Amino acid sequence: MKGIYFICEALGLIFGIIGYILLEVRSEKNLAFGIALALIAVGFILIIGSIILEKYMWWTSLGW
């Protein structure tokens, strides 16, 4: 179960990096800008979500 936290954090980091790269090298199109912001937002949500899940996992039946 602990592996899910690392997977979520890794995916969040990867999405954030891809989004940042799209922002840096994007053409001046609104679609690329929107996709980049969406990837950064999803990455941020995954990282914060995995931290919150790890902190409060002992409340659930899926705990350690």
Cα 35 off chain centre by: 14
Whether 12 is in a domain gets the answer yes
| pLDDT at site 24 | 84
| pLDDT at site 61 | 62
The total of structural domains in the chain comes to 1
- Predicted confidence (pLDDT) per residue in 35-48, tens digit: 888 988 999 998 89
- Predicted confidence (pLDDT) per residue in 46-61, tens digit: 889 888 887 777 666 6
Whether 64 is in a domain gets the answer no
How much of the chain, in percent, has pLDDT values that exceed 90?
6
- The DSSP H or E segment spanning 2 is helix 2-25
Q: Which residue has the higher pLDDT, 12 or 53?
A: 12
- The residues, any chain, with a CB within 8 Å of residue 55's CB and separated by 6 or more, are none
Expressed as residue numbers, the domain containing 43 is: 2-59
| Sole residue written with tokens 């690329």 | 32
